[in-house]
Structure 1
Amino acid sequence: MIHLACLRGNIGYWTYYSTVIKIKDLVTDNRVITVSESEELYTQNINRILQREINQSRIKSLKKYIKENDERFFSSLIVAVHKGSPKWSDIDLFERIEIDGSEINQEQVNFLGSKFGILSLNGDEEIFALDGQHRLKGLRKAYEEDETIEDLEIPVIFVIHNHNQVEKTRRLFTVLNKYAEKPKGAELIILDEDDVAAINTRRLVIEHPILSKPNALSSSKSGAIPTNDNKSFTTLVTLYSINKKLYSQNASYYTVRPADDIIESLYQKSVAFWNTLFEVFPELINYTDEVENLTINEKPILRNDNSGGSLLLRPVGQELIANAYTKFLANELPEFKRKLRLIDFNLSGNIWKYIFWNEKMLGKEAKLKNNLLLFLLGKHTDVNIHREMTRVYNLNNQEYQNHIEQI
């Protein structure tokens, strides 16, 4: 039997008990299980579908986070308990309580007295997670591999499940999972303190002399710049995506915060790329300063829905250049910069038409786009590049004239 110090509360139909449980007490003998491991809410065939919804890579990331991050923290698991004999015992408060010399009035004492208590579980209960199934599985895996974490305290909220009111618990399970909105896109980049790509994205927009300018960054929460925004240079999501290209690490690398010296060294990689781009195209600096009528190689720098404008002002174009940049060694960068300057990045021009632009932005042919820029820069000598371009032109009922040549 375990005894848990709790706060008791009520929201509508549900009385809940908020507590902490040590990892060993939570996972040993599967004291708490997932909904799909129970047959209380759903039948076996539904449970099989729920089981397939469990994301193993997410569990692996959570396991690593629990084991390796000293600043680990979780929001509460929400679990339903039924069967057995869970027992609530009130803890009586003294009638007279003073805080900093001020006495709490009797009404407040009575309220507090109904909230503190002990929840006792004898082990015969069935407890299943309504919210936090991935966290639960991550905790199991972490404890299997490292029992030294056994005393870590995990916040848990209990609700009492009534077998005769199973539809209410099903509805609660649905609400918790359907309406819980996870941070994503720009919001997640702003919040994440473990992902080094996110950490350095925030630093770029705070410290970099150009990317910190008011017009450098769109307020977009996605990677794209809104069509009605003709001033912003890039987006937070684009900076983040480029960081990940520059750092070239697997997904699990971004779940644990690296040492400060590693963060600094990766930040310098980010700075080096952006400094290179602004060195090659100083006109982009002027763009962030709202200088009008700018041109590069006698072509106007703009972004619009009629001609597409310059690929340099499109997040996809910036990511394209970042990808190419990673293919060049340090001693090759002078040649990279020289050739990059000579490329026509006009979307409706002869190079990018039908690949990036055809009266609107085109989202396919990612591999060909990357190969084409590398071909132009002399880094990719694929003899099939003209064949691929012919294919794309044919799809648009146009004839390719082998007009694209290396710089």
Structure 2
Amino acid sequence: MEPTKIPAIKGRIGNTVYYCATMSFGQISRMVKKVDDELHTANSLKEQIQRSLSNNYIRIKEYILNREDRFFDSLVLAVYDGDPLWTEIRFEVENNQYPNIGLLEFSGREKIFPVDGQHRVEGIRAALLENRELENETISVMLIGHQNTTEGMKKSRRIFSTLNRYVKPVRLGDIIALDEDDTVAIVTRDLLETYPLFMGERIKASNNKSIPQSDKKAFTSLMTLYECHLVLYWVFKCQKERHRYVKSQIKDQLKYRPSDDIIAEFNRYLVGFWDCMNSTFEEIEAYINNNSDNPAAELRSTENGGNLFFRPIGLLPFVEAVARILLATNKSFDEIISGYVNLNRNVHSDMWDMILWNPITRKMIMRNQSLVNSLLIKMMDDSILTEREKTNMISKYATIFNIELPEAERRIATIRL
């Protein structure tokens, strides 16, 4: 590493002195090394640290290469060995002195490793291999001292673990509320303001799919609605581009905002789906027109479970079933959804007792979503299910009702619309 001077601001928190500065991507690539024996001396623990460096850095590389509005928060870098020199430059403006501003000079013998931001460092390094013109872009850094001793390692480990424990990923609820690149989030937000089924208090805003028992107003939860729309976006993309995407590919595409025309087209696509739901199932239309204080009280009853569509564990598997059938048959939403008009939608019924509803405890059963999905597809066209899905469906059904596999297969064969 060559001698380097970096303008910085000096600060202190607790017993840690730190320096705030900016470094170019080129400096990051040349000067910052991977974490090795700075936090642990045991090889197994060093290997564990490196295993934590997942392929997420590849996504960061792609983000750097493909987004003009790219931005990162600060890296936290630890410095040891060598002889970094701090030279303070005192500024005086209108008789006020501003200390703690100066130059941090590296001799070239120092070793620098990331305490927080190892994925970003590797993403920057990988991006530069593909585009050297990014070398002069800058990122903010916080530099702290590290002693390569037992106590020094202990302190750096504590900072490392604290930063990584308390820096949480963005919650899905926040993505839905704020993300301006995620097509599904953008359109879902728009429908919350424009589509009657979702307006007002009809969608429960929370960071989980469930709806509190005390809520007698909501059709479903925001998380469930987003998940339904994510499934429908998958179908939308597969149809529009005539390509069978896997769902992980769709999630990657949500990082990049499409044209306004595509967003508007997907909006119309979702409206078409929900219009079919409203016109086919009278309880949804009645719910929209119910102006009482508790329009969902009976539809999500704690006494009998209520209606399949007003339970997240019922709505999402239904949407997934419609999506699978559409891709397999190329039928329209109207053709598929109208085919379910005679579906037993009472949660407390012979069809759904012990699968979705426990009639003894009067509680919803949350662990059978895949079975619900398979049964819904089977009712319409069992040829769509793979042999593995059929086997799992029969096995799960037999376990729930404590019956032999042939009996489970016989009972499932009688389930029709």
2:132 pairs with 1:135 = no
Give the equivalent residue in structure 1 for 2:24.
22
Query: Is 1:59 equivalent to 2:53 in the alignment?
Result: no
Match among 172, 175, 190 for residue 162 of structure 2 = 175
Asked whether 1:218 is paired with 2:215, we answer: no
Distance 1:178 1:387 in 2: 38
Q: Which of 194-203 and 300-309 deviates more?
A: 300-309
Aligned equivalents of 1:32, 1:390: Cα separation in 2: 54
1:206 has 2:193 as partner: yes
Residue in 2 that maps onto 1:191: 178
The equivalent residue for 2:4 is 2
Determine the structure 2 residue equivalent to 1:123: 108
SS in 1 for 2:139: strand
Q: Deviations over 1:99-156 (max 9, x none)?
A: xxxxx4x4xx22x2x1321222233211111111222222222222222222221111
When normalised by structure 1's length, the TM-score is: 0.84
Larger RCO (alpha carbons 8 Å, 6+ apart):
1
Cα gap change, 1:156/1:378 in structure 2, threshold over 3 Å: closer, same or farther?
same
| 8 Å CA contact retained: 2:75, 2:142 | yes
In structure 2, the CA distance between the partners of 1:394 and 1:154, relative to structure 1 (3 Å rule), is closer
Contact 1:24-1:151 within 8 A present in 2 as well: yes
Distance, in Å, in 1 between the alignment partners of 2:116 and 2:399 is: 52
Quote the residue 1:46 is aligned against: 45
Q: Does 1:158 align with 2:158?
A: no
Letter of the 1:280 partner, please give it: T
Query: 1:354, 1:393 within 8 Å by CA — same for their partners in 2?
Result: no
- Distance in 2 (CA, whole Å) between partners of 1:182 and 1:295 is 35
Residue 81 of structure 1 corresponds to: 79
In 2: Cα distance, 1:355 partner to 1:236 partner: 24
SS of equivalent residue, structure 1 residue 8: strand
Counterpart of 1:49, as a letter, is Q
Residue 385 of structure 1 deviates from its aligned partner by 5.7
In the other structure, the counterpart of 2:242 is none
Paired AA for residue 117 in structure 2: G
* Matched AA of 1:121: F
The CA deviation string for residues 253-291 of structure 1, in whole angstroms up to 9 with x for no partner, is: 222333333333333333322222223235324425655
Distance 1:194 1:313, change over 3 A: same
1:321 aligns with 2:318: yes
Describe the shift of the 1:74–1:280 C-alpha distance in structure 2 as closer, same or farther (beyond 3 A).
Answer: same
User: Counterparts of 1:279 and 1:25 in 2: how far apart (Å)?
Assistant: 61
1:402 lines up with 2:388 in the alignment: no
- What TM-score, normalized by structure 2, do the two folds share? 0.82
Residue in 2 that maps onto 1:370? 373
Quote the residue 2:68 is aligned against.
Answer: 70
In structure 2, do the counterparts of structure 1 residues 332 and 290 end up closer, same or farther at CA, with 3 Å as the change threshold? closer
1:305 corresponding residue in structure 2: 302
Any conservation in 1 of the 2:317–2:369 contact (CA below 8 Å)? no
Aligned residue in 2 for 1:13: 15
Q: How big is the shift at 1:80?
A: 0.8
Alignment of 1:240-279 (within 5 A): 240-248=226-234, 249=247, 250=249, 251-279=251-279
Contact preservation (8 Å) 1:80, 1:161: yes
**Deviation by residue 1:285-307 (Cα, 9 ceiling, x = unmatched):** 442565569999xxx95213342
Question: How far apart, in 2, do the equivalents of 1:84 and 1:390 lie?
Answer: 65
Alpha-carbon spacing, 1:391–1:4, altered in 2? closer, same or farther (3 Å): closer
- SS across alignment from 1:71: coil
CA RMSD of aligned residues (A): 3.0
Distance 1:294 1:339, change over 3 A: farther
- Contact 2:305–2:363 under 8 Å retained in 1: yes
Secondary structure of the residue that 1:17 maps to in structure 2?
strand
How big is the shift at 1:76? 0.4
Q: Which moved more, 1:346-355 or 1:310-319?
A: 346-355
**Aligned partner of 1:317: which letter?**
G
Tell me the distance in 2 between the aligned counterparts of 1:346 and 1:377: 18
Alpha carbons 1:273, 1:325 under 8 Å: kept: no
Q: Aligned letter for 1:230?
A: K
* Number of residue pairs matched by the alignment: 385
Q: 2:338 maps to what in 1? A: 338
Q: Percent identity?
A: 29
Take 1:76 and 1:352, find their aligned partners in 2: how far apart are those partners?
A: 52
Q: Contact between 2:299 and 2:306, CA under 8 Å: does it hold in 1?
A: yes
Give the 5 Å matches for 1:282-301: 282-288=282-288, 290-291=290-291, 301=298
Q: Give the whole-Å Cα distance in 1 for the aligned partners of 2:395 and 2:83.
A: 74
Conserved? CA contact 2:278–2:284, under 8 Å: yes
Offset at residue 312 of structure 1 (A): 0.6
Q: Which amino acid aligns with 1:177?
A: N
The amino acid across from 2:112 in the alignment is I
C-alpha spacing 1:129/1:387, structure 2 compared with 1 (3 Å): closer
How many angstroms does 1:38 deviate by?
Answer: 2.4
Post-superposition CA distance 1:214-234 (Å, at most 9, x none): 221113211111222222111
Output aligned runs, 1:373-384, within 5 Å.
373-378=376-381, 380=383
Q: Is the Cα–Cα contact under 8 Å of residues 196 and 288 in structure 2 kept in the other structure?
A: no
Q: Distance in 2 between matches of 1:76 and 1:390?
A: 51
The question of whether the paired residues in 1 share the 8 Å contact of 2:172 and 2:223 is answered with yes
**Does the C-alpha gap of structure 1 residues 89 and 268 become closer, same or farther in structure 2, counting only changes over 3 Å?**
farther
**Aligned partner letter, 1:4:** I
Checking the alignment, whether the CA contact within 8 Å between 2:180 and 2:186 is kept in structure 1 is yes
